[in-house]
Structure 1
Amino acid sequence: MSFKTPSELAQGACSVAVSKSRWSVVQMLILGIFAGAYIGFAGFLYTVVTHDLVGFAGVGFTKFLGGAVFSVGLMLVVIAGGELFTGNCMMPMGILSGCVTTGQVLRNWLWVYLANFLGSVLVAFLVFHSGLAAGPVGAHALKIAAGKMSLTFKEALVRGILCNWLVVLAVWMSMAATDVVGKIFAIFFPIMAFVASGFEHSIANMYFMFLGMLLKGSEKVAGLANIPEGKLAYVGWEGFFHNLIPVTIGNVIGGVFFVAILYFVVFKDKLKEN
């Protein structure tokens, strides 16, 4: 066949976990910054494309198109090269298979998560100072940030679970493809689905919320956004972590349990043979 089977993907996931566990700190920081930046680029593209589209195309198509363009972020990570915390939630399959240790996985997660944060806020900082978010695009970005920061803990947690179930499946499916076009299609549909559905991605949220915090200080942007004071008050560091903590926990649950653990249960006999 021109693609790998699910059992072959499980075997490949173990090999990937081993490779990722061997990165040096410098390699993880560089590749993690790249991945955070690529997700930030996708976030800005999403905002530009969707900021005024509802009035012309309706809510549903706007969500679809926003998800479609956002998928470029994971395409850059997988094809160009990057270390993305949410995608690396597949690594515990290597723990279960005995090819990596829990310490190695946690080491990767720690440095990659930190680097993703640096890359995402770097792009948010550059976008803010580019002047490209000084008008209606910025107002839309501020609305997005306020909406994320005002979610309840439970809402953020559950949306995080649903999100990374799909994101890790996108990475999983991309491993099945043997050519670049196949990888693009494997990534496109799950990422489009999670964004259009309104699920929550921790690394994307780092970008969206940090940009929102920068834009909140602009009277012009805040005026165009016309967000109620009660909701705008969430935009700040407290709101940042109010969202990021449950979303990150949810992302770990979604990727580790619903993909890594359950696929290991299905294919553990095949993995033992190897």
Structure 2
Amino acid sequence: MKNFLAPEELAPTLVSWGANKANKLILHLLLLGFLAGAYIGFAAHLATVVGTGAFGWIGLKKFFMGAVFSVGLMLVIIPGSELWTGNTMMTMALLDKKITLIQMVRNWFWVYLGNLLGSVFLAWMIVSQTGLMDGVFGATALQIATAKVTTEIAGSNHNLAYFFRAVGCNWLVCLAVLLAISAQEISGKILGIFFPIMAFVTAGFEHAIANMYFIPAGIFAKQLPLAVRGSAIDATLLTRLNWSSMWHSNLIAVTLGNFIGGGIFVGVVYWLVYLRKENSR
């Protein structure tokens, strides 16, 4: 018995997958989106903890952060929830005329909102309510968040660089979703998710929903004295870490890049290769 779907078998499965998502109730999209945001937030918190402390080789540090971050997509895919970055592949169902543009945008809007609410809620809960973050872990959260909204990138526009980092990210994330859907056993789904997610984090790419946790976590950590002291971040940079900069210095560019990486480079391309000829007959 074959334990995976070949690409030509996977493509129509993805069309049905996208069509099913288009028909869900708004309340269900919000709730499942909230769960996915929280699941990605758990993984982001885990990556923050693992990324704290001295590493002799920064690449190894990023590898370990990517390895644990893969838990987030495992929680999204296997128990089931709605993650906007994966749902960008609904472009396949749109091109196959199984859903309308309005249905796709409706799904994206409510899932994106749910992801935002779940991520920010978890950041508030962990940073402000658990007592875990007023120290070295909170300092790491501040360093990660501040870097995402203030880093000057030599020879490149900040938002343009983050846009292309986001393209690479969701290209890999959606390939992880493809591998998970293709695999017919839990072990195969876990392995299919692990490697692309580990790769995007280790490579330094940008994920919109992860940033919905990382940046608010840093904003909340600004209220923790030991975290601020331990971060050794200049006060002028800390003032640039706020709810406004989260959007104009990160999330807008990253969201657009994630759409291109998943919706175009995976969804549209796979439809053109595996389904367009069938439709033209």
**TM-score, structure 1 as length reference:** 0.96
Match of 2:164 in 1: 158
Q: State, as a whole percentage, how many aligned pairs show the same letter.
A: 46
Q: Give the Å deviation of 1:105.
A: 0.6
Residues in 2 aligned to 1:26 and 1:259: alpha-carbon distance in whole angstroms: 28
Q: Which residue of 1 aligns with 2:154?
A: none
**C-alpha distance in 2 between matches for 1:8 and 1:53:** 46
Q: Which residue of 2 aligns with 1:139?
A: 139
Aligned equivalents of 1:14, 1:29: Cα separation in 2: 22
Report how far residue 180 of structure 1 moved.
Answer: 0.5
The offset of 1:232, in angstroms, is 2.1
TM-score, normalization: structure 2?
A: 0.94
- What does residue 126 of structure 2 align with? 127
Q: Distance in 2 between matches of 1:174 and 1:225?
A: 38
2:263 match: 256
Q: Offset of 1:270 from its aligned partner?
A: 6.0
Contact 2:12–2:275 (CA under 8 A) maintained in structure 1:
no
Residue 246 of structure 2 is matched in structure 1 by 240
Match of 1:90 in 2: 89
Once the two structures are TM-superposed, the CA of residue 273 in structure 1 deviates from its matched residue by 8.7
1:23 to partner: Cα distance: 0.6
Contact 2:134-2:225 at 8 Å conserved across structures: no
The correspondence of residues 1-274 of structure 1 with structure 2, limited to 5 A, is 1-54=2-55, 57-128=56-127, 129-151=129-151, 152-242=158-248, 243-269=250-276, 271-272=278-279
Question: Residues of 2 paired with 1:105 and 1:134: CA distance?
Answer: 41
Q: Separation in 1 of the partners of 2:280 and 2:6?
A: 16
Unaligned runs of 5+ in 1: none
TM-fit CA distance, 1:26: 1.0
Match of 2:155 in 1: none
Q: State the shift of 1:140 in Å.
A: 0.3
**Once the 2 structures are TM-superposed, how far is the Cα of residue 60 of structure 1 from its aligned partner?**
1.1
User: How much does 1:86 deviate?
Assistant: 0.2
Number of aligned residue pairs: 272
Unaligned runs of 5+ in 2: 152-157
Which digits, 9 at most, give the CA deviation of each residue in 1:79-111, with x for residues without a partner? Answer: 011100000011010011111111111000000
- Aligned CA distance change for structure 1 residues 226 and 68 (closer, same or farther; 3 Å): same
CA distance in 2, matches of 1:39, 1:138: 18
Q: CA deviation at 1:271?
A: 4.8
- Corresponding letter in the other structure for 2:98: C
Secondary structure (helix, strand or coil) at the match of 1:91 reads helix
Q: Structure 2: how far apart are the matches of 1:162 and 1:148?
A: 16
